[in-house]
Amino acid sequence: MVTAARGRTRGASTIGCLFTLLILVAILYYGVDIGRIYWNYYRLEDEMETSARFASTTRDDEIIKHLIGVSEDLGLPAESRRFIIQRSQHPPLVTIKTTYRVELELPFQRRTLVMRPEASVRQ
C-alpha cells in the first residue's frame, strides 16, 4: 500500500512549473519589444548629444542631415526626423530636440508612447 501511493503524482507541481514558464516567456516576449523602443530612444539621444557637442564647428543643416540618417537607420517613425536646434549666446548653449510616437502592443491593449529625446550642451 505504501508503494502504490509513492508512484502517483498529483500534477500540481507540473502545472505550477508550466505556469511559471508561461509567465517568463510572456515577460521576455514583451520585454524585448519595450527594450528595443528604449534602446533606440537612448541611441538617438546619444547621437543628438554628440552632435550638440560639435555644434560650434558644424552648421545646423549638416547636424539635421546626420540626425535624420541616424533616425532612419534606427527605423524610427518619420515624425522623429523633425529636429529642432536652438542656439543661445548667454549662456552659450546648444539644444537639440525632437518628438515622436511609438505604438506598443501589450496583452489585451495597445499603448502609444510619446518619446521626447533632448540634448543640451554648453559650448
Dump pLDDT digits (tens) for 50-75: 999 999 999 999 999 999 999 999 99
> Taking 70 as the threshold, does the pLDDT of residue 4 lie above it?
no
Has residue 2 been placed in a domain? Answer: no
Domain residue limits at 111? 11-122
pTM: 0.79
Dump pLDDT digits (tens) for 86-122: 999 988 999 999 999 999 888 788 999 999 999 999 9
Has residue 27 been placed in a domain? Answer: yes
Per-residue 3-state assignment (H helix, E strand, C coil) for 44-87: HHHHHHHHHHCHHHCCHHHHHHHHHHHHHHHCCCHHHHCCEEEE
